[in-house]
Structures are given as C-alpha cells and as structure tokens.
Amino acid sequence: MTNVFSLCYTFVICYLNVTGYKKNTMEEIQAERAHSAESCSRARLAIQDTLDVVGGKWKLVIISILRDGTRRFRELSREAGISPRILSKELQELEMNDLVNRKVCDTRPVTVEYSLTPYSETLFEVINTMHKWGVQHRKKVTDAYLK
C-alpha cells in the first residue's frame, strides 16, 4: 500500500509540475517528501515518548495526588486505591523520569515520602489540557447517549 501511495504522490506532484502549478525538480520533490516523512516520524516519536512517561492507568493519578503535596507510600496507596506492588513499579518509573522525588526518612519504622520534582511542573499544562478535553468529551458522549 505504501508503494501505491508513493507512486500516486509522485504522479500528482509531477503532474502539477508539468501543468505549471508547481515548479519543482524531481530532487526537490523527493527532498520535500523525505522532510515531511522525517517531520512526521519525529512528531510521532515525541508523542510516543510522552505516552511512555505518563501513560498507563496510574501515573497521572499519582501525579495528581502528589500535586497536593508530599505523601508517604501507604498514603499514596490508600488514596489512589493502588496495590503496593503496582504503586512501587509506577513510582520507580516516575522517579527514573525525574518526575518524582523519593526520600527515605530516618524513623522507626523507616518511612518513605514521595513528592513531585520541579521538572514535573512541565507536565501540568499537558494534564490541564487533557482534563479540559476529557470534560468536553464526557459531555459530548453523555449528551449523545441521552438523545
């Protein structure tokens, strides 16, 4: 299918060149097409990176809870309704991506506190935008269902 698209694209561009609509050489066309494919690939890669960092069922929930302040492990587990095993895995990934700080407190028994890093604040605009879209989408779906 890609070859068919590529041939059609090349044909259309060549036709436009012959008819005088666009004055490009074949090299310019190929360079433009390669640039477009590269830009598109980079954009997809950036989105995939974002989803890898904050995707999944629990990461945004954890970040949202920590926006309200530092929490101990058990507090986070209880508040979010996450099993300790899953919470531990998610927190490790968030810490690895510099979104969460882990602080071991010198107490008996040992307690661990989690907080957001300054870098995590770069996500707040994204999270707020996702929230706004989610509210709009839920309204649209609900309105369609009630009709």
Rounded alpha-carbon distances, angstroms, from residue 28 to 5, 38, 144:
18, 15, 48
Residue 146 lies in a domain: no
Q: Is residue 116 part of a domain?
A: yes
What's the number of domains the chain is made of? 2
Determine the length of the chain: 147
Q: Which amino acid is at 115?
A: S
SS3 state at 97: coil
In a domain, 48, yes or no: no
**Range of the structural domain that residue 100 is part of:** 59-124
Determine how many CB atoms are found less than 10 A away from the CB of residue 116: 21
Q: What is the pLDDT of residues 102-122, one digit of tens each?
A: 999 998 999 999 999 999 999
Is 42's pLDDT higher than 90?
no
Contact 81, 122 (CB under 8 A): no
114 phi and psi angles, rounded to 5 deg: -125, 140
pLDDT of residue 26: 61
Same domain, 67 and 120: yes
Q: Is the pLDDT of residue 15 over 60?
A: no
pTM surpassing 0.75? Answer: no
